[in-house]
A and B are shown apart, each in its own frame.
Chain A
Amino acid sequence: MKAKVYVTLKNGVLDPQGKAIHHALEALGFSGVNDVRQGKFIELDLADGTADADIDEMCRKLLANTVIENYRVEKA
Chain B
Amino acid sequence: MKTAVIVFPGSNCDRDMAVALRDATGREPAMVWHRDTELPDVDLVAVPGGFSYGDYLRSGAMAARSPIMRDVIDKAAKGVAVLGVCNGFQILTEAGLLPGALMRNANLSFICRDVDLVVENAQTMFSSRYDQGSTVRIPVAHHDGNYFADEATLDRLEGEGRVVFRYAQACNGSRRDIAGIVNDAGNVLGMMPHPERLIEAEQGGTDGKRLFEGLVAALG
Contacts and interface: CB of A to CB of B under 8 A. Distances in A.
Contacts, number: 35
Contacts of A65: 58, 61, 94, 101
Interface stretch (A14-22, A26-34, A47-55): A14-22
A46 interface: no
B101 A67 contact: yes
A21 to B, nearest CB: 11
A14 B108 contact: no
Nearest to A61: B65
Contacts of B94: 65
A68 interface: yes
B57 interface: yes
Nearest to B106: A16
B149 A67 contact: yes
Given A14-B173, A16-B105, A68-B148, 4 more contacts: A16-B108, A16-B146, A62-B65, A65-B101
Interface of A: 13-14, 16-17, 20, 61-63, 65, 67-68
Interface of B: 57-58, 61, 65, 93-94, 99-101, 103-108, 146, 148-149, 173
